[in-house]
């Protein structure tokens, strides 16, 4: 792999009720519960990770479930839609499933020539199932009724809603190596050629839109993937060279992170592949135990007493 951005690493959103969030993503969507841990800065709040069998970069959707959180508001300056890749011919299964579980959805449409099925999770977060033009050979996680022939493959795309797209587009093209591959009205599609999947960022330009509020049912940040720490340091220097504030490297146990707010207002993260989700649990036990950052381990008993039961 080249020393470049390798598409999406993970996406982090905010939920309300923890059990409702867990049930929806494991049971209804059929994702694997890869890691049960806590928020580094708020250890009495869960941090959930959902993905494929091993927690591959480009499949990981994470949540901070805060009980009683204020409902967020979609607007400019935020990431607004998460696209998942699904196999051709799977929409009938998903529509029937959404009907069964009373999941809000809209009838299938097309986006840049790709069939799309939009729906919402219990907190109002907007997601899309997309049948990609690009072959997606990633291995699905099978869970109960959600078999491989219909299951999600991982991320297809992320949508950012912005007042003006130019400065954000400059980051994508000038630093991250993305190229503009299509435009339809006020929606601009960018993609990296470094990877085949989880490679797309759609920018929606809405100058008159009010600012969004990042809270319940919205996306907190978007993480882009690099292969290792050395590559990450290279990007830190490039971003700093553009006059943007960027953090020092932060150890998140399962990857190493840098954070910066891109000019359009969206919080971006650059995350490494290393060390991965099996650093503290074997593959067959992923997600079964409460894993705590080392600094919070002395609080385990107190934390377990306060976290909601799943």
pLDDT of residue 1: 55
75 within some domain: yes
pLDDT tens sequence across 149-189: 999 999 999 999 999 999 999 999 999 999 999 999 999 99
User: Where residue 3 falls among pLDDT bands split at 50, 70, 90?
Assistant: confident
Domain harbouring 127, CATH code: 3.10.180.10
**Closest to 183 in 3D by CA, of 194, 191, 172, 193:** 191
Band of pLDDT at residue 78, cut at 50, 70 and 90: very high
Q: Is 70 part of a structural domain of the chain?
A: yes
**Whole-model pTM?**
0.97
Asked if residue 260 belongs to a domain, the reply is yes
What tens digit of pLDDT does each residue of 141-152 get?
Answer: 999 899 999 999
Burial of 112 (0-12, 13-18, 19+ CB in 10 A): middle
Average pLDDT (288-307) is 95
Characterise 221 by phi-psi region: left (phi > 0), alpha (psi -120 to 50), beta (else). Answer: beta
Q: What is the pLDDT of residue 158?
A: 98
Query: Is residue 2, in this structure, part of any structural domain at all?
Result: no
Q: Do 59 and 161 meet the contact criterion of CB atoms below 8 Å apart?
A: no
Range of the domain at 217: 8-306
38 domain residue, yes or no: yes
Domain-located, residue 1: no
Indicate the number of domains in the chain. Answer: 1
Residue 81 to residue 61: CA distance in whole angstroms: 12
Residue 291 falls within a domain, yes or no? yes
């Amino acid at each position: 792999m080249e020393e470049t951005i390798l598409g999406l690493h993970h996406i982090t959103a905010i939920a309300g009720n923890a059990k409702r969030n867990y049930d929806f993503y494991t049971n209804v969507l059929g994702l694997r519960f890869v890691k049960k841990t806590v928020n580094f800065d708020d250890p009495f709040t869960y941090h959930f990770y959902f993905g494929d069998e091993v927690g591959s970069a480009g499949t990981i959707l994470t949540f901070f479930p805060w009980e009683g959180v204020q409902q967020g508001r979609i607007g400019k300056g935020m990431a607004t839609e998460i696209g998942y890749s699904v196999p051709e011919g799977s929409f009938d299964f998903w529509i029937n499933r959404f009907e069964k579980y009373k999941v809000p959805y809209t009838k299938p449409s097309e986006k840049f020539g790709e069939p799309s099925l939009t729906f919402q999770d219990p907190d109002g977060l907007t997601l899309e199932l997309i049948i990609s033009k690009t072959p997606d050979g990633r291995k699905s996680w099978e869970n109960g009724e959600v078999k491989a022939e219909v299951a999600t493959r991982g991320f297809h795309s992320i949508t950012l809603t912005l007042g003006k797209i130019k400065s954000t587009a400059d980051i994508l093209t000038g630093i991250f190596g993305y190229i503009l591959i299509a435009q339809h009205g006020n929606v601009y599609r960018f993609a990296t050629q470094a990877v085949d999947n989880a490679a797309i960022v759609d920018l929606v330009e809405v100058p008159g839109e009010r600012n969004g509020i990042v809270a319940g049912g919205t996306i907190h940040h978007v993480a882009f993937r690099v292969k290792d720490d050395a590559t990450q340091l290279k990007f830190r220097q490039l971003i700093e060279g553009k006059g943007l504030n960027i953090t020092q490297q932060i150890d998140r146990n399962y990857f190493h992170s840098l954070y910066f707010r891109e000019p359009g207002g969206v919080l971006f993260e650059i995350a490494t592949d290393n060390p991965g989700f099996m650093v503290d649990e074997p593959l067959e036990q992923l997600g079964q135990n409460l894993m705590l950052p080392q600094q919070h381990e002395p609080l385990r008993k107190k934390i377990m007493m306060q976290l909601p039961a799943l």
